[in-house]
Each structure stands twice: as C-alpha cells, then as structure tokens.
Amino acid sequence: MAVNDRENTLIRRTSIMANESLPSLLRRLADLNCYDPYSTLTQLIKERSHCKDKIELPRQAVTYREITALTRIPISEIHTSSAHFFAEVLTPPDSAIDCLNIDNRAFPLLSQAYAAKQLRPLHASQFCPKCLKESAHHRLIWMPIAVSACLQHGCLLVNHCPTCQSNITIQSIVEAQCSKCYTHLSLAESVVLYGDEWGVFSQYLIQAWLTQKAVTHPAIAPLLEKTSRILYRVVDGLQWTARILARTNWPYLHYSTKMSQLNKKQFQHKAVGSTTPYESYCLYATACKAIVNWPNGFYDFLEAYSAQIKKTAPSGGGPKADLGNLYVQWLQEYWQHPAFRFVHKAFEDYFIHHYTLSSAVIRTNVCRRDASIPEQFEHISIAEAARLLGTTPSVNGQ
C-alpha cells in the first residue's frame, strides 16, 4: 500500500485531549471518520499491522507504529495515554516489568493479568459528571479500581446511568450519554466529598502514586523514601483484607460522612465482578489509615482487624487465628520481597509486644525465620515457662 493511501485512511484527525485515555481517543477517531461500528477502526489497525494485538492496550511495536501513522500522534503520547502508563506502580515489586523497545526507547508494559485485577473493564467504566460538562472524553485516571474520586471537582465518580442504571461504556462517556436510554451523563448526581478530609486525602495519595507525583505530606513522612510501587502494593493488600470484614459492620471501616442512606443505595450499583466507586473509596481510605504515622497507624489497623475477627469468630489466639487472611496471605506470601522488610519489621515489633510466648507462638513462621525473636518477648505463658523449667504447670500451682 502506498504511503499516501495509508495517510489518507483517516479523513479527520484529532489530538489527544487533556488526560485522555487511548480507548477514548480511538472511539473519538472512529466517530470523526464515520467508522460504524467502532470495531471497524480496530480491525483496520489489526489488518495494517498484521498482528492480533489488543489495540486499546497494545503490546507490539508494529501496533504503535500503525496508530501513529494513522493519527500522526507520537508513539510516546500513545503509550502515555494507555493503561501501560500505570505499569510501574500497579506491577508488584516481586514481578518483573516487561518493556517494549521502540526506536531505542523502553516503554513499560502492564501485564494482562494485572490489568484484569487493577483496572475497570471498558464496558463498565466510571466518570465524573462535572468533567463531562467541560469535555466529553474518558480520562485515563478513571481506569484503576483504586481511583474513586475526582479531585478536581471534589466528588465521587459514577459508574452507572442515573436513569436506567446501566453500566457505562467508554463509548457512552465519549458521547456523554447512556447508550441504552440516551440520558445525558453530565446530569448524573455526584456525591460531593468536601468535608470528608480523610477519604479525599486517601484519594490524593493513591492518585499521586499512580501518576508518580511526589508526596511530601508529614502524615507519611517515615515512608517517604519508599517508592510508589511499594506503598501502593501495601495499601492494595490491606484493602483486600478489609473487604473480608466490610460486610461485618466493622467500626474501623471508613465511611463518607457525606453519603446519606439514599445516596449510599443509589451509588451501590454493582456490575458483575466489579467494585463500585463508593466501595473502592471506603476500602482504600480504610487501608490508607495503616500507613500514616508509621508504624503506629499499622499497629492500629492490626488491633482493629484482630478485634473484629475475634468478635465474629472467637479463636484460641495466635496471629494466624487473629489476623486470618492478612497474616496468612499477605504477610506470609505476597509481601515476601525484600522491599517489604519495613512491613515485616513493624509486624515483628507488634508480634513481640502483643503476644505471650508459648509453644504455639514459637511454631509461627515469624519465630522460625528469626531465632532471636522468642528471646525478645516480655511475657511467657505458664505452660511454656514450665516446659523450659522441666516441670509442669500443676506442680507450680501447688
């Protein structure tokens, strides 16, 4: 195909709008050039590139080159507008980040597995009604599940049509109207979050990490040397553990004081397998409590978590019973990379001062990993003291 034919495929072109996502740009291009359905444009790109790449989250150099040839938008801007922009934060420290080399420049890639876990599906997106009033395009920052608020307008994001309650697609956002009932999405009610300082601050932290902006707030001063990638993984793990207790009326769980019962019901529209913006807002705000004033915030989180588990399922004690998933999965499995040593050090201090030395405690992985830990306990159980003295508890009690 001649170069002129390639360049003339798109009669009309446009630039990427402020903070726009790649899926949004592609849909606007399809509309501008009367490609209906939208898949006509994506199929054209696949045919030209001769590969089966995912056009909205491309992983092949040829796909980037083809999109650039059609749009005249630089490859770097195409990559930055895709969800790959979040790869260096959403990829856990113990997983290598794949990179795509194009013209001697490395572009980080977000794996499909982490994209599925961390991003909202394109057919069940979220939006800020006030942003759509200003410009009808989908913002890249709306893609992560951890993001639930528009910091510019101080309101909760919306994930459904206010009239028919349908899920919102990227196409609906670009058109600023529901694809089912044609309600204008800019008219949707949004919950104002001004006054809920902690919830808004938590969103500020998360969105700063995702966009790799510097955070210098004194509340997290002890952790400022930690990378966004590490801190996000800690908070993400804690919000997953918080989900387990969220349905048990956990007092520690953050609730927005701006959310009335009526609003709460309205904003709990849930797509299959998804998290509502309000759920995400509460869960991540709860998790962020653990990283402020480190390690005291973490201790408070552990105490509150343990107290709620004991309330719902009384046990014989020990971290496995008291902390459940938080201990078994996250502390013992997912946070094993050396980057999380500061978390384990804080937990060891909590462990030593919170528990009484016993045979059950000695058998925990914490003590097995470090033989010096049992020697640091201030208190010892009667049974363990008797064992060390070569006697029995009954003899000591006579």
**81-86 mean pLDDT:** 98
Give start and end residues of each alpha helix (H) in 214-340. 228-246, 261-266, 277-288, 296-312, 319-325
- Confidence tier at 367 by pLDDT (50, 70, 90): low
Q: Is residue 78 part of a domain?
A: yes
Report which of residues 98 and 392 the model is more confident about. Answer: 98
Which tens digit of pLDDT belongs to each residue from 229-279?
999 999 999 999 999 898 888 999 998 766 654 455 545 555 555 789 999
pLDDT at 192 over 80: yes
Tell me what pLDDT residue 257 has: 67
Per-residue pLDDT reduced to its tens digit, 156-179:
999 999 999 999 999 999 999 999
Q: What is the pLDDT of residue 209?
A: 97
Q: Please indicate, yes or no, if residue 364 is contained in any of the structural domains.
A: yes
The verdict on residue 127 lying in a domain is no
Residue 391: per-residue pLDDT = 62
When mean pLDDT is compared over 12-16, 32-36, 231-235, the highest value belongs to: 231-235
- Domain contains 260: no
Among 1-5, 125-129, 288-292, the range scoring the smallest mean pLDDT is 1-5
The pLDDT score that the predictor gives to residue 355 is 74
CA dist list (Å): 204 to 154, 230, 388: 11, 17, 52
In a domain, 207, yes or no: no
The residue-averaged pLDDT of 196-206 equals 96
Q: Does residue 396 have a pLDDT over 90?
A: no
Tell me which of 93, 126, 156 is where a domain ends: 93
Domain count, the chain: 2
Boundary-marking domain end, from 31, 62, 93: 93
Each residue's pLDDT tens digit, 353-364: 877 666 566 657
Domain assignment present for residue 244? The answer is no
Q: How far apart are the first and last CA of the chain?
A: 98
Q: Which of 42, 64, 93 is the last residue of a domain?
A: 93
CA distances from 245 to 67, 185, 232, 308, 311 (A): 45, 33, 20, 8, 11
Residue 318 confidence (pLDDT): 79
**Would the pTM count as exceeding 0.85?**
yes
Domain extent at residue 335: 316-398
Tokens matching residue 304: 């509150």
| Closest among 294, 395, 287 to 343, alpha carbons compared | 294
Tell whether the model's pLDDT for residue 312 goes beyond 70: yes
User: Residue 380: what pLDDT?
Assistant: 55
Tell whether the model's pLDDT for residue 397 goes beyond 70: no
Q: Which of the 8 DSSP states describes residue 144?
A: B
Give percent of the chain with pLDDT exceeding 70.
Answer: 82
In a domain, 25, yes or no: yes
Position 85 in a domain? yes
Query: Which residues are bridge partners to 357 per DSSP?
Result: 380
Question: What pLDDT is attached to residue 392?
Answer: 62
- The mean predicted confidence, pLDDT, of the chain is 87
Note whether 32 and 20 are within 8 A (CB).
no
Mean pLDDT lowest among 51-60, 334-343, 351-360? 351-360
Kindly tell me if the per-residue pLDDT of 139 is higher than 90.
Answer: yes
